[in-house]
Amino acid sequence: MHAPNSHPPFAGKSFEVRYPGLTAINAYAGDGVHMRYEITEGAFAGAAGEVAYTWKHVAGELYAISWQEADRATVVHLDDFTAGISRSFFTAASLEFHRLEGSLRAL
């Protein structure tokens, strides 16, 4: 998805994503490969983990970021770091599919 040894501009930074019914903190490691997530509000509150992610620059400051969680849930974000907008598409471990749009802010 990305060039070997390259790092996205959000590496080493943490962000809060706030969607209707779900708020999470995503902390991207400086290695450009790992991140820690914690869902702080909503039906999935308390879920947390560390995952390897892949990323792809889309345009401007818009990035596609994807990962799979330990419970096999899959997540894809389209995060616009300039506009402060996050769109998330994820399948929970229960196989229920969610589409969310909300705010994205640096912490």
The fraction of the chain above a pLDDT of 90, given in percent, is: 92
Q: How far is CA 52 from CA 19, 56, 65, 96, 103, in A?
A: 23, 14, 10, 22, 23
Whole-number Å distance between alpha carbons of 58 and 78: 9
pLDDT for res 5 = 61
Task: Judge if pTM exceeds 0.85.
Answer: yes
pLDDT for res 10 = 97
Convert the pLDDT of each residue in 27-58 to its tens digit.
Answer: 999 999 999 999 999 998 999 999 999 999 99
Instruction: Decide: 34 and 27 in contact? Cβ < 8 Å.
Output: no
Convert the pLDDT of each residue in 75-88 to its tens digit.
Answer: 999 999 999 999 99
- Residue with the two structure tokens 């999935």: 44
